[in-house]
Every structure is written in C-alpha cells, then in structure tokens.
Structure 1
Amino acid sequence: MSQRNAVQTPPQSPTSESGLRRSMTSRHLVMIALGGVIGSGLFVSSGYTISQAGPLGAVLAYTVGALVAYMVMSGLGELSARHPVAGGFHAHATRDLGPAWGFATAWLYWMCWAVALASEFTASGLLMQRWFPEVPVWAWSLAFAVLLFALNAMSSRVFAETEFWFSLIKVAAVLVVIVAGAATIIGLNPVSGSGPIGLSNFDTGQGLFPMGISGVLVTILAVFYAFSGTELIGVAAGEAKDPQHNIPRAIRTAVVRLAVFFIGAIVVIAAIIPFAEAGTDESPFVTVLDAAGLPAGADIMNFVIITALLSAGNSGLYSCARMLHSMGASGQAPKLLSTTNRRGVPMLALSLSMLGGLASLLSSVIAPGSLFLALVSISGFAVVAVWIVICASHLSFRRHYVQVHGSTASLPYRAPLFPVLPIIALLLLAASLIGVGFDPVQRPALWFGVPFTLVCLGYYRWRHGPGVFSPQRCEPDLPHDVVGTSRAG
C-alpha cells in the first residue's frame, strides 16, 4: 500500500476548529521557511563566519548545519503531516513529551521571535539612513512595525503572498551573487574585465583551518542559529492546504534550497574575499557585487537587505501570533488568545506579539547592558532547544505509534533512517549547547536560557501538578486524527 493512499481522510476544509483558515499552498510554506532563514545572518554575518573559521571551515560548518536542519525537519515533517495543528512543535511537544515541555517550548520560541522583531526593525531603520539620513531610526522602525502588523492582520493568505514575494526578492539576490561571483571566479564575467580569480583564497598559507579547529566549532554553533526558521513550516501547519502532502514536500524543498543558497554563497564569498579581510564592516554580498563590476551594487544590496529584514520580521510576527493562539487553544494560556476574527486571524495574539516586539525594542534603549542582552541570549538558546524538542518529540511519537498500530505503514509521511537521524541530530545539538559554555561571547545564552526554561517548567509544574511531564495523547491514536483540527467549514 502506498504512503499516499494508506490513510483514508476526510476532504480538507478551508477552516480548522481553531478558527484558522487552511489557505496556504506548498509554495507559500517553502517561501515562509526561506523568509525566516535568509536574513541578516547570511547577508551581513557571513563575512564574520569566514573570518572565524577560514574559507574551508566556513563551508564545512554550513554543510553540517544544512545536514542537521534536514535531520530535524524530516522529523517535524512526519509529526506535522500526521497532526497538522496550529502551533506546530509546541503542540507536538505537549502531546508526545508533556504539557510542561510544550509550555516552555512555546514561550522560548515566542521570546526568540519577539526579540528578533526588535532587531529587524532597528536594523531596517539604520539601513534607511543611507537614503534618508534626516529621518530618525525610531520613525522607520515604527513605520515598518505598522506595515508588518497590517499585513498580518489582513489574513493568512495575504501574509503568505507577501512573504512569498519578500522571499523571492531575497532568493533572486542570492542567486545573482552566486552566478555573478562564480562568473568572476572562472573569468567569464564580461563586466568586471578581469581574469579568473580562481579558488586561491582557499589556500590561506596557514593550513586548512587558519583559526584552528576551535574556530570551526564556534562557527558551527552560530550556523545552527543561521538555519533557524525552517521550523516555521510546522508553525503554519494548521493553515496549510492538504497538509499530509504539502508539509513534507515543502520541508524537503526548503532544506535543499537553503543548503544550495547558503553553501553556494559561502563558497563564492570565500573565493572572492580573503578571509583576513572578511568581517561585518560591509556586507560581503556588496563586496562580491563590487568585485563583479555590477553598477549600483551597494544601493541594490541595501534594498535587498532591508527586504530580507522585513521578510524575517514578517515571518517572526506570524510565528509569535500563532504560538500564542495555539497556547490559548490548548489551555496553556488565557483562552481569549485562541479567538480569531472573521478572516481567521488571531488578532489579540497578534497584537500582544507586536507589543512584545516593541517592548524588546524599547529595552534595547532603556537597559542595553542587561535586559536586552538577556532577551537576545534566550532567543539564541531557544533555537537549539526547540530543535532538540522536535527530535525528542519525534522519537516519542514514533515509538508510541508503532506500539498502537504495529507498523508505520499508515503514516502519510515517514522520516528516513529512523532512529539514526534524530539521534545524531540530538547529539550534535546537545554538543553545540555544551560548546557554548566554552565561548565567552555566547556563554550568556546558557546563563539566561537555562534558568528561563527551568522557571517555565517549574511554574507549570506548580500550577498544574506532577502529571505535566507525561505525554498527553488521546488513546487510541486513530487514523481520523491525521487531519487533526479539520472540520466542515
């Protein structure tokens, strides 16, 4: 029996029991993931990555990051195809690990994106100073906040379409840099007028890893964070059309494209910019376009980076709102947060998420040395913690599913090489958290992230009793649960 026809499910309806509309197609899901991932981490910080790990070390680190992202997202695809519910991995953690873990995961992830909103607004305002130096940064930040709130408030379809085009601009820019840079490297660029550059920059004269293996290891920790955002597909599962087929397809497509874009861009940048000159003073994408001789490269890339920041902020605001909505629906937050308007938008959850982002923005001015550092550190810790939770949820889900059904034949999608891949991913992610303790720059992530998680777990245990650390599954796990929240519209 094929996976596609193994489970007979009722027709997909446009509305879920939670009130959200199932209006997103596979192309929307892919671009939402790309929008959440491709941002300032690639456009701005990739130069710093190369300077820390060296050319070959940076390529190696991003390759490992892509592989771990694939391992984690394969498990998320299996979970979300079987239970396509709003909130994604928060709901999976509640069901397969225990509500306390779901509660802590949701607040960690909400905090992650709320802080990201503040940084995206601030960075966008700073970049606008290039063209409008007389306009204060806060004015641009507020204008962009209003714009993204309006786009999210219209409908999930409007958000998805906007994110599709935002992400398309970023993807096009990455492809232009890869193609123009590759042409410059092999000497086929008619604009630059120079001969082939080749891969001579990879020969640093200081060995394969000029900063030592420790430089590569520290970079890998940051690379995991750079690939964060692919899990947004799981958050959007409750609003996806035909989730049993579209979610796994979107995850596979998104991870493959991200691997090509990130690794391809890093190879080109490392070949054109000597690692000793790479850094964050200028976007390496601007440097590559200048080397390729493209006119107005700086202004074009400035526009693209602003688009990238707004795209990431757009995805972040969506994620924050859906996480609060999911918590309200599951009883882990006030029920009022689960309400939606006639367009299927959780307006109260959306409004509180925007206020959270603006509060984080304000904290960067009021307490730049303490509160904002704590928030940023928690957000960095949250990404790896959430991926660990996804892997653990997948292992628990698969073990229970086989116990109930005897095999995995009825699953709409099966992650490959189980349990090898999720276990490898767990080990690598856990190692990255341990490695944070050896890096003074990233060590605050543990100082703030671990206590924040323990407070969330302790509060939920105190509020609801000792059973909150046990899975909350409905027995038996019947095939009709595949659609989860679907109902007749």
Structure 2
Amino acid sequence: MQLDPNLSDIENANLMSAKAPLKRNLTNRHLQMIAIGGSVGSGLFIGSATALNSGGPAALLIAWILVGLMIFATMHALCELTVNFPVSGAFILYNTRFISSPWGFCMAWNYCIQWLICIPLELVAATIAIEYWKCNVTPAVWVTIFYLLIFFINLLGVRSYGESEFVFSLIKIISICGFIILGIVLVCGGGPNGEYIGGRYWHHPGSFSNGAKGVCSVFVPCSFSYLGTELCGMATAEVSNPKTALPKATKQVFWRICLFYIISLTLIGLLVPYNEPKLLLDDFSINSKASPFVLSIENAGLSVLPSLMNFAIMIAAVSVGNSAVFGCSRSIVSLAEQGFAPKIAGYIDREGRPLVAILFCFFIGLLGYLAECRHPISVFKWMSSTNGLACLFTWISICICHLRFRRSLKIHGRGTDELSFTSQCGTLGSWYGILLGIWIIVVQIWTALYPVNGDSKPDVKNFLEKCLTIPVLIVFCIGHLIWKRDFVLFRRAKDLDIDTGRGEVDLTELKREIREAKEYLATRGLWYKIYKFWC
C-alpha cells in the first residue's frame, strides 16, 4: 500500500500492519489446538532431561510452576493487546509501537533469528529421533523427507498450517495424556515388576541436585520448553474472529500448564532419579534416547510403549519446525513493514502467503543437512546458543508493551471499559512477568559463567554458548542507532499510537456490547461464571 508522507515511520508501519493482505483462514478450532499443544515439543520431552539432572525433581516443579505463572500472565497481556490490535506481526510491531524503534528492531530480529535457527535444529532433532529405531539410512534422507513435508504444508497457506498443527497437537496431547495415566500406574506399582515406587527417588538420591545453583540452572531449559506459546498472538491477523477466538485460546494456557507440564513432570521426578546414567549422554539436548519420558517407560520394563513415546517426540520436532516457519515468515513480513528488512521480504501474494519470507526460511532450513558433517552437534550447539535467552526477552517485552498501553490509555483519559478483552492478571501480572524474566536472565549469566560442577574460574566458552543472545542484542541495538539515527530509546506514553489498527471500531458500540455481556454474565449461576473465567 502507498505510504502517507504526512505520517511518521512508526505510524505508517502501524497502518501497513493493520491493512496487511493476510487471509483470515484460521478458525477457532485451529487456534484452540495450537494454544493447547502447539508449543509442546522437544523442550518438554527432551530438555527436561537437562533440568532433572542438574536440579533434581523438586527444582523441576519450582521452575515450571514459576515460569508457568509468568507465561499465563504474559499470554493474558498479549491477548489484551492482540484482540484490540489484530495486526500482522502482533507483538513484534508492538515493541516499536509502545516502546521505541531501536528496541522494536532488536526484538523483531531476536524473534526472527530464534525461529530461523529452530528450523534446521528441529529437522535434525526429528532425524535423531528416528535413529532410536536404529534405521540404517543416511540422515540426509530423513532431513529431506521432513524438509519437504514442512515446505509443502507452509506453501499451501495458513489453512494448511492450521490443519497440520491441529493433527500434530492432537497426537502430542494424546501421548501426554497416555503418559500421565501410565505414569500414575507405574508409580503405584502397576508395572510389569509390580514394584511400588512412590516418592522413593525424592529421598534417594534426593529432591535437589547441586543445591541453589542447580535450581537456578533449571530455569532456562524450563523457559525453552514454553517457547512458541506466543504464536497465538502472531496468528491474530489470520484468525477469522480474533475477538472471540483469541481469549478462548489464551485461557487454555492454564490447562496446558497444569496438565501437560506440571503433572507430567511430577511423574517424571517420581519415575526417574536425577542421577540416572542415561541422562548424562553427551549432547542429550537433542537426543531422544535421553528423554526422561522414554527412560521412565524403558526402566519399567515395557517394550512397545517407548517406541510410541519416541514417535510422539519425532512428531513434536516436526510440529515445532512447522511452527518455526510460520512464526519466522510472519516476523520477516513485520520487519519489512517497519523498514527493518528489504521491502520485497514483505511481499504477500493473492492467497495471503508471505512467499518471499517463506522461501527465505527454507533457504536457511538447508542447514539441516549439516547432520551429515563429522561433528554436527558442535555446529548446532553454537547455532542454538542464540536461542538460550531469546524467548525471555520476547516475553519481557510483551509485558512492557502491555504496561505502556495501559499507561497511555490512562494519560489520554480513557479506560479499560473500551477493551473487548482485558488481562485477568492485570498490570500486576505483567510486572511479575518482567521481574521474573529479569531474575532468570541474571541467574543464567551467573550459572553460565560458573556452571554447575565447574571450577571457580569463569567459563567464557560456556557463557557464550548459554548467553550469546545478550551480545547479539547489543550489536543489533548499536547497528540500528547508527543506521536509522533514531536515539529515542523510550517513547513517552502521551506520544503512543493507541488507535491505528482499530480505526473501524465504533467505541460507543463496543462499550455497549461489553456492558451487555457483563450484565448477562451477572444473571448466570456460579458454575457458568467459573467456566467463562477459565474457558
């Protein structure tokens, strides 16, 4: 669309995002399933091995509960913003809109690179999962199969992405629910050996491993397992009815945190001791053989079910790779709309597909063939080092944007009565997300410099592997300041644009609808109110 010379760069970017020709082909059914199981992947199935070994079973619950509450608050903050501003790029654009252009540039590229790297990583993870069955086939064959599968899913459009994620998420949900039932049976002594396990491993070898430092080291693997939760917000410009679909999907996050993460990891802590030798496999971060989900079933003496769980891990890797292409391509479009990437990168065809961005993602995805090199793990460990803290910066930024939006509303003499959805956690939830996120980053720097079981000297190599995100963000910030000559690092609340993207909304009519909905809810019974609050 034609830019208005009378508007600022940020105002033009807001207008372009609001008018982006993406197709609204995702339905409530797709968004619900993406919210419930879309981000359940190798971070939970495999990354929990790292956490269990370094922190112990009690550390698993502490970290996953605290970060889960952070995610819950962050998702509600994001939903409030996306329901009221259903624009392409969503929270990527909000950083520029509500904070500043330099910060928006850093966060946009941070999020884009995070997903770009995930594409080849997940291709390799899916390939390694197949090696569990000892197939005598070169890894390049499996990389090609998964590569083409994800390519055609995304090339067919957002509807194809929604349907595929619906199927993938359904498989993951069934697998986790089945594991929970099986885990309860095994803990209670219903396995082939008939041996009651109970809380044995909480007493010996113990509930904590490596003390306070071990607990601190768990938070980043924990955060990585929640990676992708925010994709619901990224999909807001392609949902047929975001006003109703997004709030419902957001509320499902609570059930996913409780059911998938907390309950399953409680069972993992009961079934697998933190000193299990198989958890110590080299480079287990992308090795399904060291998954505590698989180990817990193998240790029980069951023969077929470990293969079924490994199949779920393979599907999870393909699913995350699929989501990575979706998230990265939409990020690139938003970058182009803000003038942070070449204009051609924002091209969207008549079918609503960001073709140039998708093709660029698959060009980077060719790095998956590094699985054939002599030392592929070393290559991918350095590639993935930029992902260590990337998601935390994204979530902190979402919470800051929410606070800035609320502050701007107040300064302009407007209130939440004009918002069709407000965060159930309010501004306190966003403050919690910011403070916990900053604390996790600080303790990650500490445990990266002085790792668990390391010596008293700083480990620079380990620091770069775990915290490369921080110097990368600094470089991006300095680069933007030099390139754009924009030295406004924090925009004042009175100068924020809180109307573009919702220009067609009649605020008087919207307030009337909100008032009538609240009056209707007041007439219903307690159980209905509880249901509407959580669902």
Superposition TM-score tier, normalisation by shorter sequence: 0.7 to 0.9
Shift of 1:86: 1.6
Equivalent runs, 1:25-424 vs 2, <5 Å: 25-131=27-133, 133-187=135-189, 189=190, 192=192, 194-204=194-204, 206=206, 208-277=207-276, 279=279, 280=284, 281-290=289-298, 294-359=302-367, 362=370, 365=373, 372-424=380-432
Quote the Cα distance in structure 1 between the aligned partners of 2:272 and 2:23.
Answer: 47
TM-score in terms of structure 1 length: 0.88
Quote the Cα distance in structure 2 between the aligned partners of 1:481 and 1:401.
Answer: 18
Quote the Cα distance in structure 2 between the aligned partners of 1:354 and 1:42.
Answer: 25
Quote the Cα distance in structure 2 between the aligned partners of 1:424 and 1:260.
Answer: 23
Amino acid at match of 2:211: G
Range 429-438 or range 365-374, more displaced: 365-374
Equivalent runs, 1:12-31 vs 2, <5 Å: 17-31=19-33
The 3 A distance-change label for structure 1 pair 403 and 50 is same
The 3 A distance-change label for structure 1 pair 369 and 185 is closer
Range 474-483 or range 32-41, more displaced: 474-483
1:444 and 2:495 are equivalent in the alignment: no
The 3 A distance-change label for structure 1 pair 453 and 370 is farther
Quote the Cα distance in structure 1 between the aligned partners of 2:331 and 2:371.
Answer: 22
Q: Which residue of 1 aligns with 2:483?
A: 463
Quote the Cα distance in structure 1 between the aligned partners of 2:172 and 2:386.
Answer: 27
Quote the Cα distance in structure 2 between the aligned partners of 1:244 and 1:276.
Answer: 48
Range 454-463 or range 81-90, more displaced: 454-463
The 3 A distance-change label for structure 1 pair 122 and 433 is same
Quote the Cα distance in structure 1 between the aligned partners of 2:371 and 2:344.
Answer: 27
* Corresponding residue to 1:435 among 420, 438, 443: 443
Amino acid at match of 1:103: F
Quote the Cα distance in structure 2 between the aligned partners of 1:350 and 1:469.
Answer: 31
Q: Which residue of 1 aligns with 2:503?
A: 480
The 3 A distance-change label for structure 1 pair 336 and 426 is same
Which of 1 and 2 has higher RCO (CA within 8 Å, sep 6+)? 1
Q: Which residue of 1 aligns with 2:530?
A: none
Asked if the contact 2:140/2:371 (under 8 Å) is kept, the reply is no
Q: Which residue of 2 aligns with 1:486?
A: none
Asked if the contact 1:28/1:160 (under 8 Å) is kept, the reply is yes
Range 373-382 or range 437-446, more displaced: 437-446
Amino acid at match of 1:245: T
Range 48-57 or range 435-444, more displaced: 435-444
- SS where residue 192 of structure 2 aligns? coil
The 3 A distance-change label for structure 1 pair 199 and 469 is same
Gap runs ≥5 in structure 2: 1-16, 452-461, 507-535
Q: Cα deviations across residues 356-376 of structure 1 (Å, max 9, x unaligned)?
A: 232476499599698755432
The 3 A distance-change label for structure 1 pair 268 and 132 is closer
- SS where residue 439 of structure 1 aligns? helix
TM-score in terms of structure 2 length: 0.80
Gap runs ≥5 in structure 1: 1-14, 484-489
Quote the Cα distance in structure 2 between the aligned partners of 1:210 and 1:380.
Answer: 22
Shift of 1:142: 2.2
Amino acid at match of 1:192: P
The 3 A distance-change label for structure 1 pair 136 and 479 is closer
Quote the Cα distance in structure 1 between the aligned partners of 2:120 and 2:292.
Answer: 24
Shift of 1:40: 1.4
Quote the Cα distance in structure 2 between the aligned partners of 1:372 and 1:320.
Answer: 18
Quote the Cα distance in structure 2 between the aligned partners of 1:273 and 1:326.
Answer: 44
Quote the Cα distance in structure 2 between the aligned partners of 1:310 and 1:383.
Answer: 20
Asked if the contact 1:177/1:288 (under 8 Å) is kept, the reply is no
Amino acid at match of 1:204: H
Asked if the contact 1:148/1:314 (under 8 Å) is kept, the reply is yes
Shift of 1:26: 3.0
Quote the Cα distance in structure 1 between the aligned partners of 2:113 and 2:465.
Answer: 13
The 3 A distance-change label for structure 1 pair 367 and 326 is farther
In the alignment of these two chains, the number of paired residues is 466
Quote the Cα distance in structure 1 between the aligned partners of 2:503 and 2:185.
Answer: 53
Q: Cα deviations across residues 191-224 of structure 1 (Å, max 9, x unaligned)?
A: 6361532222222365x43421221111023212
Range 89-98 or range 48-57, more displaced: 48-57
Range 417-426 or range 283-292, more displaced: 283-292
Range 327-336 or range 221-230, more displaced: 327-336
Amino acid at match of 2:503: H
Quote the Cα distance in structure 1 between the aligned partners of 2:465 and 2:89.
Answer: 24
- SS where residue 37 of structure 1 aligns? coil
Range 126-135 or range 340-349, more displaced: 126-135
Asked if the contact 2:18/2:500 (under 8 Å) is kept, the reply is no
Quote the Cα distance in structure 1 between the aligned partners of 2:473 and 2:483.
Answer: 15
Q: Which residue of 2 aligns with 1:6?
A: none
Quote the Cα distance in structure 2 between the aligned partners of 1:343 and 1:20.
Answer: 8
Amino acid at match of 2:255: V
- Runs of 4+ aligned structure 1 residues displaced above 6 Å come to 366-371
Quote the Cα distance in structure 1 between the aligned partners of 2:35 and 2:463.
Answer: 28
Asked if the contact 1:33/1:229 (under 8 Å) is kept, the reply is no
Quote the Cα distance in structure 2 between the aligned partners of 1:397 and 1:103.
Answer: 19
Asked if the contact 1:83/1:482 (under 8 Å) is kept, the reply is no
Quote the Cα distance in structure 2 between the aligned partners of 1:211 and 1:349.
Answer: 44
Q: Which residue of 1 aligns with 2:511?
A: none
Amino acid at match of 2:100: G
Amino acid at match of 1:160: G
Asked if the contact 1:82/1:481 (under 8 Å) is kept, the reply is no
Give the RMSD, CA atoms, in angstroms.
2.7
Q: Which residue of 1 aligns with 2:456?
A: none
Shift of 1:478: 8.8
Quote the Cα distance in structure 1 between the aligned partners of 2:230 and 2:388.
Answer: 15
Asked if the contact 2:35/2:252 (under 8 Å) is kept, the reply is no
Asked if the contact 1:121/1:310 (under 8 Å) is kept, the reply is yes
The 3 A distance-change label for structure 1 pair 482 and 172 is farther
Amino acid at match of 1:391: C
Range 142-151 or range 462-471, more displaced: 462-471
Asked if the contact 2:188/2:198 (under 8 Å) is kept, the reply is yes
Shift of 1:36: 4.6
The 3 A distance-change label for structure 1 pair 369 and 217 is same
- SS where residue 419 of structure 2 aligns? coil
Shift of 1:254: 2.6
